[in-house]
Each structure stands twice: as structure tokens, then as C-alpha cells.
Amino acid sequence: MASLYRGRDRVQLHLGMLPGLLVYVLFGIIPSVATAVISLTNYSGIPGLPVNFVGFQNYVQAFVLDSTGLLGSIRDTLVFAVSVTVIQNALALALAWLFTKRYPGRAIFRSLVFMPAALGVTVIGLTWALIFNPSGGPAANLLAVWGGNSAFFGSDTWAMPLVIFVQIWANLGFTTIVYLAGMNTVPGELYEAAKMDGASGWRTFRSVTFPMIAASTTVNVLLAAVGSLNTYDLIYVLTDGLYHTNTLGMYMFNTAFEGSSNLGLAATINMVEFVITFVVALTLQKFLRRREEVLG
Amino acid sequence: MTTSPSLRVRQRTAWGAFTLAALIAVIFYLGPMLYLLSVALQTPAQFLNNPVAFPHPILWSNFASAWNQATMGTYFGNSVLYAFFSTVFSLLFAALLAFPVSRRYVRGSQLIYLFFLAGIFLPVGLIPLFIESRMLGLYNNQVGYIILHLQYGLTFGFFIFVGYFRTIPTELDESAAIDGCGYFHYMWSILLPLIKPALATVGIYVAINVWNDLIGPVVFLASNSLYPLTRGLYTFYGSNQSDWTLLAAGVFIVAAPLIIAFIALQRYLVAGAVAGSLKS
């Protein structure tokens, strides 16, 4: 087979592969691995400053000297990621189930829910900042009906739940589409059988649909968990990590690119983020795959 | 995505499901967009007193003011440039890499595939990327910004194309070679047109991804004149925090092409969502 391309064609075949490999090594592999190396240096964002190898000094800084900052950030990350993963999947399952029914406008409703996939964090973040404008607007008016008021994204109690809400709002459509694709592969005979047995809608969902879409659940839970553990772009727009929304990604970003621009310390925070993501992803994957085997 | 025929048999119009789906879609998804548009058409005076009411009088000039004050023309041009070139080149590089690997035409094909597979589990190294961008002269310039955005489309495209090329019979390669069709020519005029559906799906995903990137322009760009729409809008927000009618018009200007693109390209996005999720 390999002899199909000879001479100039063979050169072209290899030449064509070069840019792709180069991009992958330079901008995929090297940065990925280099984070660990930079976490052992005092690299700063200011050009011209000397760079020294400082051993585990950044780790001591993060875990001991700044431990309240890091622990708070880990807590924020876990609160955010667990809430997003659980609620987003529960809502998407319910919504996908609604979208398997037959009624007018179904395609339009589905499109509306999926639309944020194209909008991006800037439009999404600013739109919700407008709706949750503390000095007037739909959210403030609604809250005023109950006699309340809030700074919303500028409030210690409300910022995190709202950031979780917007993150779910943005990704619900994607998760729903994946569940819907799974539900559409469930053989109709199973539903016929469930109906014959007189199973209720909820019973049918629990005993037929949900076990049959185990593969979609695995994908959705993993994507939501890994995605939310690493989210900071949306948070950057909504709160910039203030008011207890300082996820590890946000903490890393602000340490690297705002104020002190301490790249070495930021890389260390990034390493903590990687390790947590890795452990969570591995554990979830193991659990969900085993679940698939049991159900399949 | 339509309901499978077997499901359709037992279904009558489900009005309960209709009500719930309609409420969620209209209140939570259509509502925010309509409110954004409504505020964009209001006078500052109305916004202060009664922002939730229908705009009266309708103030169309917010759009022109936002466009001019935020210099959106420049940002828009940059966004088009960045999204277009990083998508085209990443897809081209991905196809040129995926074809020999998919066919095992080169030694180490399996190794390259595994090498890319391993990358899925590797994290994005934003800080090293920032340092690299400075070392390689990619920081704060347009070509550099495009190069720094090739990686995403390359990997996503690589996996989709390796699978897609397998559906094209190898006999085609042979007959092209016998006819004396050079490899680059064969790729450009035969193979790429054949994988058009895959190119469209991946391309649209990549283009939207690059277009919407906000962290990239914050980290890799410093000059206002190089900003894409995302960072331009964000900067505009920073300097007009209280001027919401103007801001809403700005957000809407940025959102409108995305909404139109979404409506036109939705089926590709759905295909990409399903393909991307099956990959992992």
C-alpha cells in the first residue's frame, strides 16, 4: 500500500503532515507539559525579569502561606462543578424527555434552548448581567414583589447560585441534544412492552429510557464535570471571581494576568486544577463505565 | 433529529409536554433575547424608570451610537479575519494529517493517532502558551493570534476526518495515482470535496469557537485595534458600565450575527454536538 505514493507524491504526503504535527507539538503538547515546569520557577509576566528555578516554593506559597486563598478556591470550584454537573444533567434529561413527545413547535423550542451554543460567553454574560441589573430590570422587579432586593452578581449569597444558573443555561441545550440522540435510539418495542404492562410515564422513564441511555449519561456527566471544573471565562465576565466565585481557573487566570502577574504561582494553581480534574474524571469514568456494563 | 418512527406510532399531541417545553423555551431562552433587544431600543430615561416595559419611544440610534463609539467595525473585521483563517488552516492541516494516518500510508501512523488520543487527556496550558507566544513573536499580532488558534480545529478535525476518510474507498487513491494525479492536487480537488459534510460540521464549530473566544484576546492581544468583537465588547462594557441602553445595543449587534448563523447552521451544530460527544 505504502508504495502507492512515490517520488514527489511521497514527499508531498510527508510535507503535508508537517504543519499539523508542528502545531500539535508546539501548541498542544509542549504547553500542556510545560505548566509543571513553570510551576517550579518564579516566571513573571513582566518581560526582562530574570527567571529562576525555585523548587517547590510556589507550592509552599499556595498550600501554606496562601492556604486560605487556595482552599477557598477549591471549595468554590467544587460547589460550582458539583451543582452544575448534577442540575444540568437532571434538567437536560427532563427536557430531552419532553422533546421526545409530539406537539407543535417542538423543533423551535429545541432550537431556542440550544441557541446559547452559538452565543459565546461575552454575549451570554452581559445579557444576564443586564437582566440581573441590581438597580432595575426583570430580576430586581420580581424580587421587589417579594419585598427583597439584591446586588445579584455583586452579592456574597447570590453570586455563586447565579453563576451556576448561567453556566447551566448556556450548556443545557448541548446536554439535552446528546440525551435526545440517545433516547431516539431506544427501540420502540420496549415502550410498547412497557405500555402493555401498564407502566406509568415515570416508571417507563426510570426502567426503560434511563438505563437504555447509559452511554449518553456517561458522556454528558463527564463533559459537564470536566467542563465546569475548568470554567472561568463566563465567571470572568459575570463576577471576575469575586463574591466567592473564585474557581481554580479564575484564581489561576487572575494570578497570571491581573495585578502581580505571577506566572509561576499561577502555573502551580493550574497544576492543582489539573490534578483535581484528572482524579474526578478518572473516578467518574470508572464508575460510569461500570454502570454501563451492568445496565447493558 | 427526529423521533424514531417506532416512537411516533403511540403518540398523540402531548399538551402537557408542550406547555412545559414552551414555558422553558420562551421565558428562559427567548425572553432574555427579547429583553436585550427591548433595552437596546429604549431611551436612557425610560431604562431608569421602567426598563421592563415595551420601548417608548423607540430609539433606533442606540445601535449606531454603540457601533461608532465602540469602533465595532474594526473589531468585526478582526473577528472575521481570525475566525476565517484559523478555521481554514486548521482544517487543511487536519485533513493533510488525517488522510495518511487514516490510510496508514506512512510509518508510525498508529503512533500519531495514539499521540493525538493522549492529547485529549492533557490539559490546556494557558500560561506556557502565553510565554510561548512572546518567545515566538506571536504575541499581539494578527498572524500570531491566528496561529495560536489552530490547535483546537486541528485536533477536533483530525479525529473526525480520520473516521471520515475511512469511508472513502482506497481504490480511488489508486486510480487517481494511476491517472497521474499528484497528491496535493488529489487532496485539494478530490478528497476535500468528498469530505465536505465533515468539513462543514467541524469548520462551523471551530469558527464559532474562535469567534466567541474571550480569554484568547485578553491573554494574547494588547492593542485595541487588534481586538475581536468579544474583547471589544467587553472593553466597551468596562467603560460604559451604567449606560445600559447603549451597552444592550452593543451586545445585540454582537449577538445578531451569531443568532442568524445559529439558525442557518443549526443542523451542523447538532451534528457536531453528537459527533463530538460520541468521540469522547
- For residue range A46-104, list pLDDT tens digits in order: 777 888 899 899 999 999 998 999 999 999 999 999 999 999 999 999 999 999 888 89
Instruction: Locate B198 and state its grid cell.
Output: 465533515
Task: Give Dmax (Cα) for chain A.
Answer: 80
Fold classification of A56-295 (topology level): MetI-like fold (1.10.3720)
Q: How far is A48 from chain B (nearest CA, A)?
A: 12
CA distance B4 to A26: 45
Q: How far is A64 from chain B (nearest CA, A)?
A: 23
Burial string for B122-149 (b: 16+ CB within 10 Å, else e) reads ebbbbbbbbbbbeeeebbeeeebbbbbb
- pLDDT tens profile A113-161: 999 999 999 999 999 999 998 888 888 888 888 888 888 998 889 999 9
Structural domains of chain B in order of their starting residue, each with its CATH number: 15-59 (no CATH), 69-279 (1.10.3720.10)
Q: How far is A68 from chain B (nearest CA, A)?
A: 23
Phi, psi of B13 (to 5 degrees): -60, 125
Of the candidates A20, A118, A252, the beta carbon closest to that of B208 is on: A118
Using the Cβ of A41 and the Cβ atoms of chain B, whether some distance falls under 8 Å is answered with: no
The pLDDT of B61-71, averaged and rounded, is 90
Which amino acid type is present at position B219?
V
The set of residues, in sequence order, having a beta carbon less than 8 Å from that of A259 and lying 6+ positions away, is: none
> What residue of B is the nearest CA neighbor of A141?
B52
Q: Angle formed by the axes of helices B72-103 and B244-279, to 10°?
A: 0
Decide if B25 and A113 are in contact by the 8 Å CB cutoff. Answer: yes
A 10 A CB-CB count for A259 gives 9
Using the Cβ of A205 and the Cβ atoms of chain B, whether some distance falls under 8 Å is answered with: no
The pLDDT of A237-241, averaged and rounded, is 93
- Name chain A contacts of B96, Cβ cutoff 8 Å: 16-17, 19-20
CA distance A167 to A124: 9
**Residue A53 in 3-state DSSP?**
strand
Decide if B52 and A137 are in contact by the 8 Å CB cutoff. Answer: yes
Domain extent listing, chain A: 56-295
Residue B1 clears pLDDT 50, i.e. is over it: no
From residue B149, alpha-carbon distances to A111, A236, A288, B133, B210 in Å are: 28, 20, 33, 11, 7
Measured in Å, how far apart are chain B's first and last C-alpha atoms? 20
Of the candidates B4, B154, B219, the beta carbon closest to that of A184 is on: B4
Element (H, E) at A5: none
Residue in A130, A122, A140 with CA at minimum distance from that of residue B245: A130
Interface of A with B in 114-173 (CB under 8 A): 114-123, 126-128, 130-131, 133, 136-138, 141, 169
Owner of C-alpha cell 460550582: A80
Q: How large is the ipTM? A: 0.90
Let me know the angle formed at the C-alpha of A294 by A293 and B1, rounded to the nearest 5 degrees.
65
Instruction: Locate B67 and state its grid cell.
Output: 457601533
- Name chain B contacts of A167, Cβ cutoff 8 Å: none
Q: Residue B249 has what pLDDT?
A: 93
Q: How far is A247 from chain B (nearest CA, A)?
A: 15
Q: Angle formed by the axes of helices B244-279 and B196-212, to 10°?
A: 140
Q: Residue A3 has what pLDDT?
A: 66
Decide if A101 and B183 are in contact by the 8 Å CB cutoff. Answer: no
Decide if B25 and A109 are in contact by the 8 Å CB cutoff. Answer: yes
Q: Residue A58 has what pLDDT?
A: 92
Q: Residue B11 has what pLDDT?
A: 56
Of the candidates B155, B173, B254, the beta carbon closest to that of A24 is on: B155
- pLDDT tens profile B22-55: 999 999 999 999 999 999 999 888 888 888 888 8
The set of residues, in sequence order, having a beta carbon less than 8 Å from that of A53 and lying 6+ positions away, is: A40, A41
Measured in Å, how far apart are chain A's first and last C-alpha atoms? 39
CA distance A83 to A165: 9
Q: How far is A117 from chain B (nearest CA, A)?
A: 8
CB contacts < 8 A (A, B): 315
Give the pLDDT band (50/70/90) at residue A283. Answer: very high
Q: Residue B227 has what pLDDT?
A: 96
Residue A178 burial by CB count (10 A; 0-12/13-18/19+): exposed, middle or buried? Answer: buried
- pLDDT tens profile B122-168: 888 999 999 999 999 999 999 999 999 999 999 999 999 999 999 99
The set of residues, in sequence order, having a beta carbon less than 8 Å from that of B87 and lying 6+ positions away, is: B153, B203, B206, B207, B210
> Cα dihedral sign for A3, A5, A8, A10?
negative
Is B211:B79 a contact under the CB 8 Å cutoff?
yes
- Name chain B contacts of A29, Cβ cutoff 8 Å: 119, 122
Q: How far is A15 from chain B (nearest CA, A)?
A: 9
CA distance A266 to A254: 8
CA distance A245 to A240: 8
Of the candidates B177, B219, B266, the beta carbon closest to that of A5 is on: B177
Residue in B146, B100, B248, B22 with CA at minimum distance from that of residue A111: B22
Q: Residue B278 has what pLDDT?
A: 61
Residue A237 burial by CB count (10 A; 0-12/13-18/19+): exposed, middle or buried? Answer: buried
Decide if B273 and A178 are in contact by the 8 Å CB cutoff. Answer: yes
DSSP letter string, A59-93: HHIIIIITHHHHHHHHHHHHHHHHHHHHHHHHHHH
Q: Residue A176 has what pLDDT?
A: 95
Is B244:A134 a contact under the CB 8 Å cutoff?
no
B134 vs A7, more confident: B134
Q: Residue B123 has what pLDDT?
A: 81
Decide if A120 and B208 are in contact by the 8 Å CB cutoff. Answer: yes
Residue A1 clears pLDDT 60, i.e. is over it: no
Which amino acid type is present at position B206?
V
- pLDDT tens profile B181-226: 889 999 999 999 999 999 998 999 899 999 999 999 999 999 999 9
Q: Residue A16 has what pLDDT?
A: 94
Is B4:A184 a contact under the CB 8 Å cutoff?
yes
A140 vs B83, more confident: B83
B81 vs A101, more confident: B81
DSSP letter string, B3-58: --HHHHHT--B-HHHHHHHHHIIIIIIIHHHHHHHHHHTS-HHHHHH-TTSPPSS-
Q: Residue B2 has what pLDDT?
A: 47
CA distance B138 to B157: 23
A5 vs A15, more confident: A15
- Residue of B20, B91, B104, B127 to mutate, testing the A interface (most A Cβ within 10 Å of its Cβ): B127
Burial string for A111-126 (b: 16+ CB within 10 Å, else e) reads bbbbbbbbbbbbbbbb
DSSP conformation class of A50: -
Q: Residue B188 has what pLDDT?
A: 93
Phi, psi of B261 (to 5 degrees): -60, -40
Phi, psi of B221 (to 5 degrees): -125, 145
Question: How many whole angstroms from its chain centre is CA A280?
Answer: 13
- Residue of B24, B266, B277 to mutate, testing the A interface (most A Cβ within 10 Å of its Cβ): B277
CA distance A113 to A107: 10
Q: What percent of chain B has pLDDT over 70?
A: 94
Phi, psi of A44 (to 5 degrees): -125, 160
